[in-house]
Structure 1
Amino acid sequence: MADEMITAVIVDDHTAISAGVQSWCAQSVPPITLIDAGDRLTDVWTGPGALADVVIFDLELVPRRPDFGELRRLVDSGRRVIVYSQHTEDTIAMKCVDLGALAYLTKREGPEHLVPAIRAAARGEAYTAPSLSGALVADDDPGRPRLSQRETEVLRAWFVSASKDLVAAKLNITVKTVDTYIARVRVKYANVGRAARTKSELVTRALDDGLITLAELNETPPVT
């Protein structure tokens, strides 16, 4: 999907939010065409909104009732969805990702994250904003290992560096320490029944859990 071809439809009952997103999209380079559906979910399924590459979805169109059912319906129909919500609870963020949202952003996160998330979603790729990154670290789903921030940092650095020596230099630690952190991550995955004995298996686990994206890996030189 070429960036200049991207269209998105936003479903949000706060006009100020929609207007802000409209401005961010118009000012991005290249610009993103945004269709404002207001709080009308029907406009996502009919008219110009039905052809949009990305759906930006306010999870709470009905006060105090996150609409996970509509999110599931959008994802199941093949739509590429970004949840843009006022909710900051990690459990809600993780549930949206589990249901198939390609990104979860809180409304505290501005164009520096929403615009790249739209571009990633248009390519069918996930985007991990800071709020979701924190949720992944804090996630207590028994199917996900409880990685520390440092373990996650080392893992991500290893995936996007040409060697462990470069990881060590970047994080100001020794190569032996890099190996130790990676070994800990392998053990934690094994303990939840998702063994990652090889590097390719570990990359797959990280992709599944949203710790890194395909876009980041595609920009990475061969690793050792």
Structure 2
Amino acid sequence: MIRIAIVDDHPLIRDGVRGWCAAAEPRIEVIADHPDPAAFLSATGPDRGDLDAIVLDLQFDQRAPDLSALGTICTRGHRVVVYSQYTEPRLVRDCLDLGAVTYLSKTEGREHLITALHAAAEVRPYLSPTMARAMSTDGDDRPRLSRREREVLLAWFQTESKALVAQQLYITIGTVNTYLERIRAKYAAVGRSAPTKAALVARAIRDGLITTDDL
């Protein structure tokens, strides 16, 4: 059973996501919903480990998108699927940099959201159309990697296993896999797939992310 929480200030959205989840296969259980991030953070505490994913809106009470709340929730170790009406490429990329595992537009609907939640629960990425568009608007064919993604990538190049990367960076092997798959998704989105470690090394050197001396 996949278990999630919903954070959105519109009851209609919360009820709709609940209905989609109940009909999903495998079934997704919504064990909590909250009208804003403060309520979610207050209810869950810092170490709640029974949630596989969080569906998070960015706008509450008609204010501007709240990225600070997203950063806090991601820092607590939650796998966040952003579900927002906003589709500006820079905002999408900023959310991914803060740790969101997927960014979906609310116009993308049930199919994409359910698929993204299954992927999040299985610790693998899901490249939504909104993410693909955002990653392809940087002006060249170099994907925009976050600082943490670059750290994980370099550590993986310099070590013999993902377990050593996890130990070195104080994260889990599952998190290492998530970063690497997200990096691969970013390369695929700009038409430069890198399915192997050797291919990622070649891409990273060409893009100036690392040098041969780093290896």
TM-score, reference length from structure 2: 0.65
* Moved beyond 4 Å, runs of 4+: 140-143, 151-154
Q: Secondary structure at the match of 1:25?
A: helix
**What corresponds to 2:7 in structure 1?**
11
Matched, 1:39 2:54: no
Matches within 5 A, 1:108-123: 108-123=107-122
Structure 1 distance, partners of 2:191, 2:40, is 44
Q: Secondary structure at the match of 2:73?
A: helix
Matches within 5 A, 1:64-103: 64-103=63-102
Q: Secondary structure at the match of 1:9?
A: strand
Sort the Cα spacing of 1:46 and 1:19 in 2 relative to 1 into closer, same or farther, 3 A.
same
Q: Deviations over 1:44-101 (max 9, x none)?
A: 54269x4322111111114232111111111111111111001010111000001100
Stretch moving more, 62-71 or 93-102: 62-71
Aligned letter for 1:38? Answer: P
**What corresponds to 2:182 in structure 1?**
none
Structure 2 distance, partners of 1:153, 1:31, is 33
**What corresponds to 2:22 in structure 1?**
26
Structure 1 distance, partners of 2:67, 2:74, is 11
Matches within 5 A, 1:71-220: 71-140=70-139, 144=143, 152=189, 155-156=192-193, 159=195, 190=205, 192-194=207-209
Aligned letter for 2:10? Answer: H
CA contact (8 A) 1:11 1:37 kept: yes
Structure 1 distance, partners of 2:72, 2:57, is 14
Structure 2 distance, partners of 1:31, 1:82, is 17
Structure 1 distance, partners of 2:115, 2:2, is 12
Shift of 1:9: 0.4
Structure 1 distance, partners of 2:189, 2:8, is 33
CA contact (8 A) 1:11 1:41 kept: no
Structure 2 distance, partners of 1:141, 1:125, is 26
Shift of 1:132: 0.6
Stretch moving more, 36-45 or 136-145: 136-145
**What corresponds to 2:59 in structure 1?**
60
Shift of 1:6: 0.7
Shift of 1:195: 5.5
Aligned letter for 1:37? Answer: H
Sort the Cα spacing of 1:73 and 1:143 in 2 relative to 1 into closer, same or farther, 3 A.
farther
Q: Percent identity among equivalent residues?
A: 35
TM-score, reference length from structure 1: 0.62
Q: Which runs of 5+ in 2 are unaligned?
A: 145-187
Matched positions, count: 165
Sort the Cα spacing of 1:142 and 1:26 in 2 relative to 1 into closer, same or farther, 3 A.
same
CA contact (8 A) 2:135 2:189 kept: no
Shift of 1:40: 5.7
Q: Secondary structure at the match of 1:74?
A: helix
